[in-house]
Structure formats: C-alpha cells, structure tokens
Structure 1
C-alpha cells in the first residue's frame, strides 16, 4: 500500500497546481474557449476534460502529424496501451496490461473492444482509417457504457460523415517496400434534408519479410481495400436518421516467423490473412419527447476470414528430422445488435438529476473450420465447431449534482449471455451466466477547464468453451484437458483518482490518472505439449487473481505560435495471482503478459513558416512478457518518427520516416522448439513490426 499512497500523492502534486491555477484565473460563466472536441462514445456529448475517467482523443490531424496509415502505427502514442499481432496486422489490444494476444480454435470475449461507427468489430482488427474523424481510447472498465467487450477499455472510432456542402479529399502515399496508399473522400448535401459521404481506400505493400527459399519479398504482403458510405436523412426537425455501410476486402499474406529469428524466412507454404466483411447500421435520434431524447442503432455485420500459416516455418529437405505441416482457420461470423436508450432532457430530470436508461440485445453466430495435420492419426484432418451467443442487457446512469461544483455519477449494467456450442468431436455444450458492471464517480468541477474526480468501477467479460481441449481430451495422453472443458467469466474492479486541467486558450492541457485494479477469475491462455512434439493443445484457464496498478499522464503545451509539445507517459505494475499451469509451472506473482513497466511518447510540432511544418515524435516502451505461460520477453525499444510537410492552398506535400532508427520491435512472441537443425531446442521466436519506413505523401483537399 506504500506505493499506492505515493502514486496518489504524485498524481495530486503533478496536476493539482495547474488545475488550481486555472480555477483562479477562469470565469465560471465563460466557457466559449473550452476544448471543443466532444467524446462521441459517452452517453452525453462532453469533452474529455469534463468526463470522469481516463480517456484520450485523437483526430484526423493527429494521423497526418505522424504519417499514420494503419491503427497499429498510432497506438504507441497512448499511455498504457499495447497490442499484439500474430497476423499480418496488429489485431489484439491490451489496456493497462489486460487483453488477449491471439485467437486460434476457441472463440474469446475480447477484454478491449473495437467499435467503428457504433458497429462491433471486436476481435476482427482494424480496417483502413484514412477517413477517421475521431478515435477515443477509454481506459479501465467501461461496462455500464459498452458491456462485456470493455473489461479493460474500449477503442471507439468515428469516421467522416455527410456535410451540408460539397467537400472532398484525395491523397496518395508512396513508400519503400513496394508500398502505396490511395484514398479519397467526398461528402455533400442533396437538399436540406438529405446528405451523403463516401470514402474509399486501397493500401498495398510487399511487407517486410524476405523468403530466401522462395526467393520472394512479398510473402507477408498487404493488400487491403476499405469502403464506407453514409446517408443522413432528417425528415422532421425532431428526427434524424443515418444509414451506415462498411465494406472490407483484405487479402494479406502471413509469413512472419523465422527459424533464424530475423526477418528472413524459409517457408515453402506461406500463409494468408484474409478478411471479407460487410456491415450495415441504421442510427436514429428522436427529440420529439418532452422528457427524453431517444437514441438507437440497429447494426448487422457479416465477416469471413481465412487465416493460416506454415507450421514448420521451413521447406522440405531442410533437415532429416524435419516435419512439414500447415494450419488453417476458416471463420465465419454474423451478428445482429440493437442498442436503444432514453437520455433525459431538462424537462425529464428527476429533481436536478440527469438520467439514462438503455436496452442492449445481440445475437452472434461463430463458425470455424480448421484444416490441420492430426499427429495422432498421422493424416490431414478437419475440425469444425459452431457457437451461438445471445446477449441481453439493461443499463442506466444517473448524474446527480450535490453542489454547484460537485456531481455524483452512478451507473449499472445487468447482462445475461447464453451460449450453445457444438463441434465435430461430438461435443454439445450450453453455457450461461448473468454478469453485472457498475461505476460510481464523484466529480469536482473547479471551473469549466478543471476537474478532479474519484472513480470506482466494475467490469466483466463472458466465459466460454474450450473446444480445442474437448476435441483433444479423447486422447489418453491428454486426459488432463477434461478439467479445462470451459472457463468462467472474469471480473475487474477499478479504483481511480484523476485530475484534468486546461487553459482557456488551450495553450496548456494536462491530465493525470492513478489507478488500482483487482482481477478476479483472471482468464489466461494455457498450452499443453504432452509429447514434446509439434502438437499443442490450447485452452483458456482461470488464474486466481491479478493486480494492475499505475499512473497515466498526458500533457500538451503550446510554447508559442510556432512550437507545440506533447507528452504522454505511463508506469504500470502487474502481478499474476495464484497460477500454476497444467504442466506444473508456477507463475504466481510474476508480471502479466503484454504489460510493460513504462511507456512514453514525446512529440513536437514546429511551424517553421506559414507553409512548412516539422513534426518529430519519439516513442519508447519497456520490455514485457509475451505470454502468461512462459518467460519469453520482448526488448525495450525507442521509435523516432519524422515528417516535413509543405502546405500550398489546397495542396499538402510531405516527406516522412517512421521508425527512423530502424529498431526491431517485437509484436508477438513464442517460446518453444521448432528448428530441427539444433534438435528442436527452445528459443524465443518473435514477429517484428515495420522496420525503417521512408515515404512521400501528397493530398488535395477541396
């Protein structure tokens, strides 16, 4: 507890003086110059500075500043945020050290969800973001607002929408490794009631792997198309409707792991990471009721993916003791969700309290066909499974002013899920549970620019079925897996203290959050390798508990009209509770996976002239464990990003470099033996993020 006290003291001392200064110099009645970027993901439109909780917001300008082409190139700038790949792109997000790292046979409930225009893409990764309007990163449990997909946090993306006049942008980027990106957006109003927007993006790259056996440099290539269309219709003054349509066509290669533990592979059968998804949503806002505004969204998503890899990472003839197999996962996912809520108007307040009441309903169907080599039967085999999940939730939030400056916000969500699972091994399992989440915050608004809050929250994620364990349990040597047929829901408790302050002219913005989190029935990934051969059985296990605590700091300082500085930093301490693996390895008390002790991001925007801007960014992250089931670790790294841009009326030209120091950054790691040349001695095998990138970008906005 000594550290917790010092952490709390540090957060108060670092941010409270600034907040107090703002309170002394600002007029409570003057709010015209408050930060105007509102958080779209909350129940009510308010700025990040007015919202209790650790929330970061970035806009389209932030993407340009760092020459970002994909979300995983942006994530390093956020405090206490990490990600893992194991695919052609970064796909799994971790917040404050909590989040999944992979998905193979078993369907998982993500700890950190992803919403794009209110449509649930959790577990599918991120498509193109060239038309991004705003990204919000929520840290800590957000069950009241987002439910089971926000145990540790949520990423909420909003893309560009219809405008009341013609607007458009065309951009082209070319870079090394055979890369280019072509994107275009256009929006307009047909009349006073009807408007539309269209965004298209194509991104291509050879990737950053050389396959020396096939003599190719494109076996880990990128080929992605994203299209989005929105149609807004306002038939009356009180009703606004919006149709949202998404299309993703991803045809990427997957050849990332090397027996030589570098960027040169030996695979004779490189894998693939393909995704075809389409989504539709109808969003409605109705303000015709006297006591409340009605907000609702009905969305549908259908996704088919083909993910596979060369298991031996080599070619036939490498060594007499070799093996040669592939593993392929064909997935289909279809979901229908409804989120419907009433948000009180001034006339509908209960006393002085504002309220929200909502209903959430979801139906999701997951189908898997796995094509693999069955080592027990010594032949190619197929495993198929189907999971149907239904969710029903009721939620509400009450905001009650206690004084002119102090507000008590309370929220609760009650959610029921039911699963039906069946597979080709004859397993037929039904699971269900009722879960609940809540939050309670006491907010002291010193003035419109300064907030101090104390927050307590409870999050949850669903349990599930270990289909891989059940399928392999028939083998006598894997009887231990019978005890791992299913896994229980996980619960997360969070206590948080935060201070937020900003100058009225936004020349200084500072935010600090200190937190302590308790994990109960913590879900961890386990593996069993009974014969020390190439066959592994994966399953999700429940560790007894876990602890995650730390601090997050974000600052922005406009030194003068020509120079602006940004800083985000975090310190994180995590521990596993009582956790002994099925093989008997004791990891109790060790740090959790994907949880670096510290991370930071420094940025400088230097406006050399009215037309020329230099952007410099430095990002760093401490080493971290790749898994909760082994001790392989990443390396500490620093990334330097540079961009020089020239603005000429509607045109912008830029030259840039990401990872200018050419650091090898691990984004997925395993520890086992896979090389017959050294007798299958265990090693740390890593997948690396992009090396040094050099590029040029041009855009025309009209």
Structure 2
C-alpha cells in the first residue's frame, strides 16, 4: 500500500467451549436496565434544526443508541444495521461495505467510479466512498434516515443517509476500556478518555484495535487466516469555547485497515483453494471542523468543513484455485488501487426567535455547500498486458433552504429545496474522456400534525437525485460507457406514539417510491469472462412499510422490535429484469430483542434478526435463502466494570451475504453457476469493560 500523505484542500490547489453455549441458552432470560433503544430528544441529520425524533421529525428514521452499539461483538456499522427495517448490505469483500435502503444502493465496485446512493457520514466526514472506516469506534449513536435526503444532503443520498456520531468531549473526566476475546483468534481492544483541559477546552481521544484470523480455511495453503481482520483506528475530538459567541468543534480521524479477502470457493463452502489470497485495505486520514457563532440576534451561523485522503486497495484470486487444480496459464489475480481525496464545505444560517417570518410563524434555515472528490484508479489484471488507469474528479456547488411554518398550534408545514450543479471530469488510458455538467434539484414538502403530546402524524413528498457516471471498462461498446442521472419521488405517511406513560414508543411509516432512469447493475460476458457495469432502467418502483417499537415492560424487562416490508419492481422493455424485483431487496426483514435485569448485577439478553430471500443481482435470477439468526448474552455488572459472555448465530445458520452467477469452474467450461459468500458461523466470545 502506498504511503498516506496529508490531504490538501482541493479548493486551495476456540476460545470458549460448548459449556459457554449451554450457559448462554439456559440464561436467556441486557442487561442492565439501560440496554436497548431510546427515543430521547435527538438531533436528526435530516433537519436543519434540532428535532425531537419522536415528536417532530417527519420522516422514517431509526436511531441506534450507545447501549445497543456497545453490545459485545459490535465493532462495525455492518454489525448493527439488521436492527433497522428495509436496510440491507452487500459484502463481496472483507466486510459488508455497500448499503441499500428500500432497495436502492450499490453492491460492489470494480473499475467504475461509484457515486453512492446511500450517504455514510461519520462526525461530519463523508465516508460514502470509503465505508470500511465507518466503524463503531466510541460511537454514541447511529441514525438511519430512509428515503431521499435531497434538501439537506444532495446527490449522494437518493436512497437515504447513515449518520454515525461519536461521543463528545465532556466537562468531567470520563473514559472506558474494553477487551473482547472470541473464537477464530478474535481480539478487540478499545479505549477512550475525555475531559476538560481548561474551562474553555475539552477533549476526547479514542482508539481501537481489531484482529481476527477469520472463519475461512484455505486448504491449499493450509492456513486459517487468509480472510483475516487487521484494523487500527484513532479519533481525537476537541470542543473549544473560543468566545462567548463562538464554539469550535475539531475532529481528527485515522484508520489503517489491512484485511484479507479469501471468501469464495467453487463448492460454496468456507474452505477455499486459492494460491494467491486477496486483500481489502484502506488507509484514511480525515479532519473536520465546525464553528457555531451566536453573535447576531437574528441568526445562528454554522460553518462545517472536512477534508480526507484515502488509499484503497482491493485484490483477489480470480479463479479461486491453484496450479494443481488447473493450468498455471489460467491462474490470474485482479487488483484495484485507488487514491481518494475528498472535501466538503457547508455554510449555514439558522433562524432565531427574533427572526422568524410571517408573524413569527415560520422558522428558516439556508446555506451554501461545496463538495469535492477525486479518485485515481490503477487496475492490475494479470490477464492483461498493461494496467488500466483512470482519473475522476467532481466538483459540486449547492444552495439550499428550508421553511418550517406553524399553521396552527398542532400543524406544521415544512418545505425544503436544494439546487445543485455537478461538474465531472473523467479520463482513462483507453482514450475515453468526458467533462459533463449537470444541474439537479431536490427537496421535500411535509405536514406534521401533533395530535397530542404523545402522538404525531405526518405526510411527506420528497424528491431526490443522483448524478450520472461512466463505466470504466474498455470492453464495453461506446454506447454503454456512459449512464444518465436518475431521480426519485418518495411519498410517505407515518405516525409516532408515546404510550403507557411513556414506557412504549412506536413509529410506523408506509411509502411509495418511483425512480426515473434508475441506475441498475448489468452483466456482460466476453470470452467466457463476466463483468458488471451500470446502465439505466426506464423506471423502478418500491413500496412498503416500516415499523419499530421499544417497550420498558417493567423495571427488569425491556423489549424492542422492528419490521420492514418491501416490494420492488424494475421496468425496462426488453431487458432480462423487466418486471422483476430489485437486487438485495428482501420482501421482509425483522428484528426482535429482549433484555433482562436479574438483580444483584446479573443480566442477560436474547436477539433474533432475519430477512427474506433476495436476488444477487439485477442481471440474473439467482437468489439467497431466507434466514434468521439468534444471538444471546449473559453477564455481570458491578460498579464500573462488567463481564459478558455472548454468542452469535447460535443455531449455526449458513446464510449468504453476497452471490454471483457466472462461469468459473474449469471442469465446466462456459457453464454459469451460482457462487456465494457465506456469513459468519456460530461464534462465542467474552467481553470485559471498565468505565470511569
């Protein structure tokens, strides 16, 4: 991997035995009373102002709080998203790092430059193109906003937004240390500390080290670590009260990830035969800052800036075998190295009580936004005589605004609009070069009705958009090299309730979405080799339901659950997928959990999550199988420390996280077959945590 340089502003040039399993299962009846979701007042990223999620956010939103994020075994965003309805992910690498919301989102990346459909933001840093860095390092909250975020987020969030927020610096000294040991030589160590430096400056520092041999056995090399995890993560945050009217928040983030990638076998097992196992690497340095100025009685002015630099390298054994299995001439590797740079600048103005409009009925916000990204690719495919190289650069400028009008004491009307210009430069060493400019717009109009202090109803119409792009594959005919931008209309109705003296919190939403010129995955076969590319379908539709509930049934028992129902359809006359459902879009997803406080420090919990079958790809009809996973934990907490024994996938379910269909078996020349990557088998571990 190349050495990481400090980025420049682009606009400025078998650890546990079966006895543990028995203990987990017999103790099923989290622990401590605070382990599950909460619907406390939460700042929701979809809105320009601080919204109470339960009371005033007119959108389908899931908030995963710190107690859920800190459950043993959760280290990465992919570990917790099953708790959220109609959200799926795609692996095909060392981790699941491509996300789909309501059937919209990417599933892989090879030579193409992917413009994400689902935005992933970590502490104000856009990580959408480098999501292996989207870990749960010292995270206090994950917000999942379903549907287009055209008003506030723009082109990268046509499907939705995943926002990760880390713990903030505190006025008192706080911290924690956590150690996890688990099967497959899994070791996770994390620590965080924060507190005041002076009466005006506070800090928080967090670090994490994740290692594991992985659960794949390479029988040819006689190794059990070819699909390993090796991750080091650091974050530093400062909060500075610069003056009475000015607050500053500064963040620095570093990730060094050197994971193995050896996950596919011709017989679809966890035993591989590759002689040249692959890798999945990322090194990222990112900086962000936010200023909040309160010096004018008529508005609050916020400025947020971020810059990032990443080296990404992804490679694999193309044939998944070795010279003993087939001739050496057919033994190839494929490697993709990317140099990614990014920057954002957001200058926002938010109204105060003194500047509300229309007889004090309307709050407002608005701002200007700049986004920069460059991606330089080198592909080394041993079957080709020369490497493929490409350069991609995009500059986006946007203006946006939103009005929130109190029509009555209970009825609020929200209107938002965003205008965006995207200018992109693409070139590669096949002679392809293009420099289009697109003008796009999105927004939303919503009505929210507070029927009482404990119930809110809403209706929403939103428009999202996504820029077009290029298929960086010289094997494609010219007419398939470029694909067009797409738009999405979202229609949604929802309700949120606080019931039973605020012990039961529920929300439900129904939605219908239509995409025009929908960007879909297609597959083309040349000389026995299959490759993916992006094309446009005339229309795509999705509709469904999302429901969530959390109930503090008693002082000792707490339950939570979610359900997502989804129907999708792609429409393109003459295409193989015409009239079929979209890939990676299960018709149902669910999660159920219960936590018990047994008293005297003892606790336990049980969770089950599942989803329906779904298509591997838009290009063929192969599907996964429906499955459900059972997880459990049992532990003891006393004063500032706790010990938790836990197990995941207790029934040892074989389930698919990624699949393909193409010819790859040398003994079945030209015969396309299904090949799948399996998720983690049954796994046990123990986690010890000390907090102060």
> Partners of 2:675 and 2:129 in 1: how far apart?
23
> Partners of 2:333 and 2:356 in 1: how far apart?
61
Name the residue aligned to 1:405. Answer: 410
- Which residue, 375, 387, 398 being the options, matches 2:392? 387
1:537-556 matched pairs, under 5 angstroms: 537-556=531-550
How far did residue 229 of structure 1 move?
0.3
Matched, 1:572 2:580: no
Cα gap change, 1:256/1:580 in structure 2, threshold over 3 Å: closer, same or farther? farther
Cα gap change, 1:65/1:631 in structure 2, threshold over 3 Å: closer, same or farther? same
Name the residue aligned to 2:288. Answer: 281
Name the residue aligned to 1:354. Answer: 363
Matched, 1:72 2:78: yes
> Partners of 1:162 and 1:66 in 2: how far apart?
24
Name the residue aligned to 1:15. Answer: none
The answer (yes or no) to whether the contact 1:179–1:206 under 8 Å persists in 2 is: yes
How far did residue 677 of structure 1 move?
2.5
Matched, 1:180 2:187: yes
Matched, 1:199 2:206: yes
Moved over 4 A (4+): none
- Which residue, 589, 592, 598 being the options, matches 2:579? 589
How far did residue 504 of structure 1 move?
7.6
Question: Which blocks of at least 5 consecutive residues in structure 2 are unaligned?
Answer: 1-37
Name the residue aligned to 2:62. Answer: 56
Matched, 1:164 2:171: yes
Matched, 1:651 2:641: yes
1:207-356 matched pairs, under 5 angstroms: 207-319=214-326, 323-351=330-358, 352-356=361-365
Name the residue aligned to 1:28. Answer: none
Residues 260-282 of structure 1: per-residue CA shift (max 9 Å, x gap):
11111100000110100000111
User: 1:161 aligns to what SS in structure 2?
Assistant: coil
> Partners of 1:68 and 1:213 in 2: how far apart?
32
> Partners of 1:144 and 1:466 in 2: how far apart?
28
How far did residue 218 of structure 1 move?
0.4
Name the residue aligned to 2:373. Answer: 364
Q: Paired residues, what number?
A: 651
> Partners of 1:37 and 1:45 in 2: how far apart?
7
Q: Report the TM-score when normalising by structure 1.
A: 0.91
Q: Report the TM-score when normalising by structure 2.
A: 0.92
Name the residue aligned to 1:667. Answer: 657
> Partners of 2:615 and 2:690 in 1: how far apart?
44
1:11-22 matched pairs, under 5 angstroms: none
Name the residue aligned to 2:157. Answer: 150
Name the residue aligned to 2:461. Answer: 456
User: 1:483 aligns to what SS in structure 2?
Assistant: helix
Name the residue aligned to 1:83. Answer: 89
User: 2:96 aligns to what SS in structure 1?
Assistant: coil
Cα gap change, 1:321/1:633 in structure 2, threshold over 3 Å: closer, same or farther? farther
Of 604-613 and 240-249, more deviation after overlay is shown by 604-613
Name the residue aligned to 2:426. Answer: 421
Residues 51-74 of structure 1: per-residue CA shift (max 9 Å, x gap):
000001011101234641222111
How far did residue 428 of structure 1 move?
1.4
Residues 226-266 of structure 1: per-residue CA shift (max 9 Å, x gap):
10001111121211001110000000001111111111110
Name the residue aligned to 2:122. Answer: 116
User: 1:61 aligns to what SS in structure 2?
Assistant: helix
Matched, 1:517 2:524: no
Residues 454-513 of structure 1: per-residue CA shift (max 9 Å, x gap):
100000111112221xx225xxxxxxx211121111111000000000138531001000
User: 1:76 aligns to what SS in structure 2?
Assistant: helix
The answer (yes or no) to whether the contact 1:606–1:614 under 8 Å persists in 2 is: yes
> Partners of 1:646 and 1:247 in 2: how far apart?
33
Q: CA RMSD in A?
A: 1.5
User: 1:45 aligns to what SS in structure 2?
Assistant: coil
Cα gap change, 1:411/1:40 in structure 2, threshold over 3 Å: closer, same or farther? closer
User: 2:67 aligns to what SS in structure 1?
Assistant: helix
- Which residue, 102, 106, 113 being the options, matches 1:100? 106
> Partners of 1:610 and 1:150 in 2: how far apart?
46
Cα gap change, 1:322/1:662 in structure 2, threshold over 3 Å: closer, same or farther? farther
> Partners of 2:309 and 2:169 in 1: how far apart?
24
> Partners of 2:522 and 2:573 in 1: how far apart?
11
- Which residue, 497, 500, 508 being the options, matches 1:501? 497
- Which residue, 472, 475, 491 being the options, matches 1:472? 475
Residues 84-127 of structure 1: per-residue CA shift (max 9 Å, x gap):
01110011000011110011111111110100001000021143
Name the residue aligned to 1:478. Answer: none
Cα gap change, 1:434/1:40 in structure 2, threshold over 3 Å: closer, same or farther? closer
Name the residue aligned to 2:50. Answer: 45
- Which residue, 620, 628, 633 being the options, matches 2:610? 620
> Partners of 1:290 and 1:400 in 2: how far apart?
20
How far did residue 365 of structure 1 move?
1.0
User: 2:156 aligns to what SS in structure 1?
Assistant: helix
How far did residue 289 of structure 1 move?
1.1
Residues 361-408 of structure 1: per-residue CA shift (max 9 Å, x gap):
01211100000134xxxx532000001100000010000111110010
> Partners of 1:259 and 1:454 in 2: how far apart?
49
Cα gap change, 1:168/1:508 in structure 2, threshold over 3 Å: closer, same or farther? same
Matched, 1:137 2:144: yes
The answer (yes or no) to whether the contact 1:283–1:297 under 8 Å persists in 2 is: yes
> Partners of 1:300 and 1:674 in 2: how far apart?
41
- Which residue, 557, 564, 584 being the options, matches 1:563? 557
> Partners of 1:40 and 1:682 in 2: how far apart?
44
Of 689-698 and 442-451, more deviation after overlay is shown by 442-451
How far did residue 580 of structure 1 move?
4.1
User: 1:331 aligns to what SS in structure 2?
Assistant: strand
How far did residue 666 of structure 1 move?
1.1
Of 521-530 and 388-397, more deviation after overlay is shown by 521-530
Of 235-244 and 66-75, more deviation after overlay is shown by 66-75
| Higher relative helix content | 1
The answer (yes or no) to whether the contact 1:452–1:500 under 8 Å persists in 2 is: yes
Of 660-669 and 249-258, more deviation after overlay is shown by 660-669
